C-alpha cells in the first residue's frame, strides 16, 4: 500500500483521502499465523499540519482464528480506528534546527541530537514523498487485536476432564474434581458446611 504525499507537501492544510482493498492472505503475530478471510480494507484521511501530516484511519478485516476456550475456528470481524502523525525526515530536521541555518555537516549532528530522536520516536518518519504504509497499517491492525479470541460470550470451552467441546457435546464428568494434593482442604470445607 503506497501513497504519494507530494501534493499535500506543497499545499498547507490540505486534506486527501486514500482507500485500499488489498488481498493479504495471512500475517504472523508472534508464533501465531492469522489468516484473513477476504480483503483487507484501509481508509486513510491525511491532512497537512505544519511540518507533519495528521493521519486518521480505519482498518477493516475478517480474520480466521481459533477460540481460546473451545479451540473451534471462527471468523473474527475486526474494525480498528487509529490516528497517527507522520513526517518527512527532512522536514523533521528543519523543525529541530530551531530556525537557524543548517549546513550539511550540521544535519548529521541534528540527526544524532536528543531533540531529533525524541521527535522521531513520537511519529512515523519517512524519507521519500511516496510512502509504503503497509508495515504501519499492519502495526495498527495487530495492536487492535484482543489478547485472546473467544467465539462468543456464552462459549463454555472444553471439559477439563475429558476434553469434549461443552458447546456441542454435553459430558457426564463430575463438575467438582478435586486435586489429590488439596483433598484434605476440600474435606475440611465439606465438614464445616454440615
pLDDT tens for each residue of 89-121: 776 655 444 444 444 444 444 444 444 444 445
pLDDT in tens, 65-92: 899 999 999 999 989 899 988 887 776 6
Closest CA to 129 of 19, 53, 15, 17: 53
CA separation for the pair 65, 50 (Å, rounded): 42
Per DSSP, 157 falls in state -
Is the pTM value of this prediction over 0.85? no
CB atoms within 10 A of CB 149: 17
| Crossing angle of helices 89-96 and 104-111, rounded to 10° | 90
pLDDT at 161: 83
Which CB contacts under 8 angstroms, 24+ apart, belong to 160-169? 165/70, 165/71, 165/72, 166/70, 167/70, 167/72
**Grid cell digits, residue 30:** 508472534
Closest CA to 62 of 141, 129, 180, 179: 141
Phi, psi of 67 (to 5 degrees): -65, 135
Query: Which of 27-31, 97-101, 120-124, 149-153 reaches the highest mean pLDDT?
Result: 149-153
Amino acid at each position: 500500500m503506497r501513497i504519494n504525499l507530494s501534493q499535500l507537501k506543497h499545499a498547507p492544510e490540505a486534506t486527501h483521502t486514500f482507500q485500499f482493498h488489498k488481498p493479504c492472505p495471512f500475517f504472523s503475530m508472534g508464533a501465531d499465523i492469522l489468516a484473513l478471510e477476504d480483503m483487507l480494507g484501509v481508509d486513510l484521511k491525511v491532512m497537512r499540519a505544519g511540518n507533519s501530516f495528521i493521519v486518521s484511519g480505519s482498518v477493516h478485516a475478517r480474520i480466521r482464528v481459533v477460540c481460546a476456550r473451545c479451540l473451534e475456528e471462527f471468523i473474527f470481524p475486526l474494525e480498528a480506528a487509529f490516528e497517527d502523525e507522520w513526517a518527512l525526515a527532512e522536514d523533521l530536521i528543519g523543525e529541530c534546527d530551531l530556525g537557524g541555518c543548517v549546513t550539511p555537516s550540521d544535519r548529521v549532528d541534528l540527526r544524532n541530537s536528543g531533540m531529533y530522536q525524541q521527535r522521531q520516536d513520537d511519529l512515523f518518519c519517512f524519507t521519500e514523498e511516496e510512502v509504503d504504509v503497509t508495515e504501519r497499517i499492519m502495526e495498527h491492525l495487530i495492536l487492535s487485536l484482543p489478547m485472546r479470541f473467544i467465539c462468543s460470550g456464552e462459549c463454555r470451552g472444553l471439559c477439563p476432564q475429558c476434553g469434549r467441546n461443552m458447546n456441542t457435546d454435553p459430558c457426564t464428568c463430575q463438575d467438582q474434581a478435586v486435586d489429590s494434593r488439596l483433598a484434605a482442604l476440600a474435606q475440611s470445607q465439606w465438614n464445616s458446611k454440615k
